[in-house]
Amino acid sequence: MKKITFIGAGSFDFTRELVRDLLTFPAFRDARICLMDIDEERLAFSRSACEKIKLAGGYPARIEATTDRRRALEGADGVVITILSAGPEIFRKDIEIPFQYGVDLCVGDTRGPAGIFRFLRTAPVLLEICRDIERYCPDAYVLNYTNPMALNCRYLQEMTKVKVTGLCHSVQHTAKMLADWIHTPMDRVSYLCAGINHQAFYLKFEVDGRDAYPMIREAVGCPQVYKEEQVRNELFLHLDYYPTESSGHNSEYYPWFRKRKDLLETYCTHSTGWNPGAHAYILNEYFRRANEWKKDIQDWLVKDQVDLERGQEYAACIFNALFGDQEPYTFNGNVRNEQYITNLPDGCCVEVPVTVDAKGFHVQTVGNLPDHLTMLIHTAAGSEELAVKGCIQGDRRLVYYAVLGDPLTSAVLSMEETRRMVDDMFMANETYLPQFAGMIK
């Protein structure tokens, strides 16, 4: 009986869907699924959902729930991390403080001022979790879903010995979207995608071994398709390679879409996938979810039908390759760069193809990215490196440098304005940043 532990199991959607996926594999039908969260109410809901899936599928799996992290981790073969550090009120500050200075963010969970401070809050919690993994299940494979993905993985790969990689669904979901646009089933599609999390590009996208980019370019020329992902389609038309992650996210990673009201109106108000014309959208949506989560879960629990079909997330397939049926599997993972992408900094966190089997992870060497893509990605990776160093060393000056290099921030603010904004964000986050004790005021 294999034991798979979910830390942050109160993340209802992720937990429910990943447990469903796991139980579709013969090797995990009788698995021991251990759910851990500090929120007892959310944890109870997640356990009820998993029990419902188990019953619907007739699986002999064992579902456990606990608030005790040690108990959850002892003897685990695999660990999934889906935590959220701190609550919606501090997340509001991540968005509202930059907005007061003129930096209009959309999502704020990846990089830039909001993403960096989310990372600084999350890093100490993740480190505690991984210290417990080193203590209670040192051979376990760890899959992280917690954002900001690249920053968190880079930090953990530097600070711990755990076998961790980070997973995001943007690569496979975008590939499916592109295949749908050119009316092609996924079993005829192959691709090579590489870069950093949320800023990776399809270096190749092929149908039956032939370049499909001409078909994608033709599809994007259709007004309906163009408007479906306007920011990403603009990036593709100008850069010649299609980016991963939604238009809403991409709009805040570059200096071209959110620095002026007319640009927000043109590119970000009507068709970014999030419809975020202004920062208020994501705050309203975030607080709506925070207020309505219980009703959403209760509605799902009373449904008669349970979808038992495996989804597109990587986690279950990875665990199956490692210690289940051991069928090799290839995915895009977040790993420390060891010349996998030769023109990005050594050691930074890159998102590249990884094949996994019973012997572990085998990372594919991509080589050089196209120079113009490297120019853009290198800036983001450099900012992340500074943020991680600042976190490890407790050096707020390095954090300032990291934010200073953010393309959207630098398109809007002066250096002095950026410094003041960072100071304000440190003050707002003081309670959550023990690594900067004594350096904030």
198 is in an annotated binding site: yes
CA distance 384 to 199: 13
Burial grade of 201 (CB within 10 A; 0-12, 13-18, 19 or more): buried
* HSE toward the beta carbon, residue 346, CA cutoff 13 A: 2
Considering only CA atoms, which of 411, 409, 429 is closest in space to residue 419?
409
Phi/psi at 327 (5° precision): -90, 120
Is residue 50 within 8 A of residue 15, CB to CB? The reply is: yes
CA distance 172 to 191: 10
Torsion over CA: 16, 21, 25, 27 (sign): negative
Catalytic site residues?
A: 169
- Does 279 appear as a known binding residue? no
The answer to whether the annotation marks 337 as part of a ligand binding site is no
Using DSSP's 3-state secondary structure scheme, residue 311 falls into coil
- Cα–Cα distance for residue pair 373/67, rounded to 1 Å: 44
Judge whether 202 and 241 are in contact, CB under 8 Å: yes
| C-alpha distances in Å from residue 426, one per residue of 199, 423, 434, 438 | 26, 5, 11, 12
Report the binding-site residues for substrate.
147
Report the binding-site residues for Mn(2+).
168, 198
Report the binding-site residues.
147, 168, 198
